[in-house]
Chains A and B, each alone.
Chain A
Amino acid sequence: SAVISQKPSRDICQRGTSLTIQCQVDSQVTMMFWYRQQPGQSLTLIATANQGSEATYESGFVIDKFPISRPNLTFSTLTVSNMSPEDSSIYLCSVENHLGQGRSGANVLTFGAGSRLTVL
C-alpha cells in the first residue's frame, strides 16, 4: 500500500494566522482525501482532491477557509485559513490504495499519521 508523509506532524498556531499542511505520497494516486478529526470525535471528510481539477468540498466546508492544491499525482496541500481555536484538530490526508482498486472495486484508503493543530 501507499506510504503517506504529512508535514507538519503538529503545530501551535496563533488565532488569525493560516497554516498549510503538506501530504506527500510515495506513489501516484488519483484520489486524495482530506479529513478533520476534532478532539474526541470521529473523522469528518473535508474535501476530495483530484489532480488537475478543483477540489470537491463536503457540506460545511468552503474553499476560502480550506483551500486545497493538487499540483501532481503524488502531492497535495490543505491550508487552514484565518484560524480560530475551533480549528484545533487533527487533519489527515488519505489516498486510495491501488491494491483496493481493480481487485474488488472497493475504495480502500491509506491514511497519513495526521497533523495535530492547536490554535491559541
Chain B
Amino acid sequence: DAKTTQPNSMESNEEEPVHLPCNHSTISGTDYIHWYRQLPSQGPEYVIHGLTSNVNNRMASLAIAEDRKSSTLILHRATLRDAAVYYCILGYGKLTFGQGTILTVHP
C-alpha cells in the first residue's frame, strides 16, 4: 500500500480556515485520495475523496497537487466540533489507516 505522511498535530482557532497537509509521493495512478476523521469516542467518518481534480463538498474541500504527490484538506471555517483525528488514506478497495493528524480547535 502507498504510504502517506501527515503532521502529528495541528492547532487552529475557531472560525478560521484550516489546511491539513498530506504527502503521498508513492501514490499510484489508480489510488484515490481519501480523508476520514475520527471524533472522540466515535468511529471514523468519511470527509471527502478525490482522484485528480480538486473536490468540494459540504464538509470540506480537497486540493490535489498536479503531480498527485500531495494533497490538502481544507476546512473553511473551523468549529469546535471539527476537533478530531484526520486521516489521509490512499487506496482503491480496502483502506489502510495511518496515524493521522490530531486537530485541536481553540475557542
Contacts and interface: CB of A to CB of B under 8 A. Distances in A.
Interface of A: 1, 33, 35, 42-45, 48, 92, 94, 97, 100, 104-114
Interface in B11-50: 32, 34, 36, 42-46, 49
B58 interface: no
A108 B100 contact: no
Nearest to A41: B99
Given A106-B32, A106-B49, A43 B92 contact: no
Interface string B48-89: 010100000000000000000000000000000000000100
Residue of B42, B45, B91, B94 ringed by the most chain A CB atoms within 10 A: B94
Given A92-B43, A113-B42, A113-B43, A107 B99 contact: no
Contact of A42 (B32, B34, B94, B100): B100
A12 to B, nearest CB: 17
A112 B46 contact: no
Interface residues of B, number: 21
A21 to B, nearest CB: 13
B96 interface: yes
B95 A109 contact: yes
13 contacts: A42-B97, A42-B98, A42-B100, A45-B94, A92-B44, A100-B49, A105-B92, A106-B32, A106-B49, A110-B46, A111-B43, A111-B44, A114-B43
A107 B94 contact: yes
B35 to A, nearest CB: 11
A106 B92 CA distance: 6
A44 B97 contact: yes
A94 B38 CA distance: 13
Contact of A106 (B34, B44, B94, B97): B34
Contacts of B51: 104, 106
Nearest to B96: A45
